[in-house]
A and B are shown apart, each in its own frame.
Chain A
Amino acid sequence: ETGVTQSPTHLIKTRGQQVTLRCSSQSGHNTVSWYQQALGQGPQFIFQYYREEENGRGNFPPRFSGLQFPNYSSELNVNALELDDSALYLCASSLRGGYTFGSGTRLTVV
């Protein structure tokens, strides 16, 4: 098993910019979810993709969008970055309810 890999590990962006975060799912996992973890808080569900289709969304604005590719890897895109978007972004892949998390991307918006 290769596990879940996220890139980059750290990122600094300026308010108003756009950012793309990437996630490679664990081998065989067809579902990917993204979470935002603010400092000192629990992760908050952003959205989930199953076989390249969005399959559930949390309480995040449309400027948070995603893609899942045929190999089940995924991207999280955030437009018009705001200071409050600074957080750890976690990707989790799953198969039949078993979740595996990546180490996350630390995004800082200045």
Chain B
Amino acid sequence: GDSVTQMEGPVTLSEEAFLTINCTYTATGYPSLFWYVQYPGEGLQLLLKATKADDKGSNKGFEATYRKETTSFHLEKGSVQVSDSAVYFCALSSAPRGNQGGKLIFGQGTELSVKP
């Protein structure tokens, strides 16, 4: 079945460091890919998404490119801030585009801690 694998955390960085969180997936068909962020005690917030191969999603300085050849969707940010400390989840949805939305399959999450 479809699955998502993320690099294990926690990841600890100093402020202004470069961030990469690896995500690979297994899926039949052509899934949409997502990154969600979860701050302590809160639900999930969509950070960015990509719906087809070679698409780049971006938001708040974060970027991820849908790589079909390597089945990857790695999250990157050039300069992290203390406020980026959170848990990051990679996810996929195999619902066809235009459908009402299928289920999301999540990775196990990667905790990021940014120190001043």
Interfacial chain A residues near B72, Cβ < 8 Å: none
Q: A33 and B44: CB pair below 8 A?
A: no
Give every chain B residue within 8 A of A41 (Cβ-Cβ): 108-109
Residues of chain A within 8 A (CB-CB) of B100 are 30-31, 50, 55, 94-97
Q: Could you say which of A62-70, A79-87, A98-106 contacts chain B?
A: A98-106
The reply to whether B95 and A97 form a contact with Cβ atoms under 8 Å apart is yes
Interface residues on A, range: 20 to 34
Query: B105–A97 contact, CB under 8 A?
Result: no
Question: Taking CB as reference atom, which chain B residue is nearest A105?
Answer: B43
Whether A21 sits at the interface, judged by CB under 8 Å, is no
**Chain B proximity mask over A27-60: 1 for CB below 8 Å, otherwise 0:** 0001101010000111111001010000110100
| Chain B interface residue count, Cβ-Cβ cutoff 8 angstroms | 26
Q: B66 interface residue, CB < 8 Å from A?
A: no
Give the docked Cα–Cα distance between A35 and B106 (Å).
Answer: 10
**What's the minimum C-beta distance from B4 to chain A, rounded to whole angstroms?**
8
Most buried by B among A48, A50, A102: A48
Evaluate contact between B104 and A33: CB separation under 8 angstroms: yes
- Which 7 residue pairs across A and B have the least CB separation, nearest first? A42-B106, A94-B101, A103-B43, A45-B103, A101-B44, A101-B43, A97-B101
Which positions in B face A, CB cutoff 8 Å?
4, 32, 34, 36, 42-46, 89, 91, 93, 95, 97-109
CB pairs A–B below 8 angstroms (20 shown):
A31-B101, A35-B104, A42-B4, A42-B91, A42-B106, A42-B108, A90-B44, A94-B100, A94-B101, A96-B98, A96-B100, A96-B101, A97-B98, A97-B99, A99-B34, A99-B46, A99-B101, A100-B46, A102-B43, A103-B42
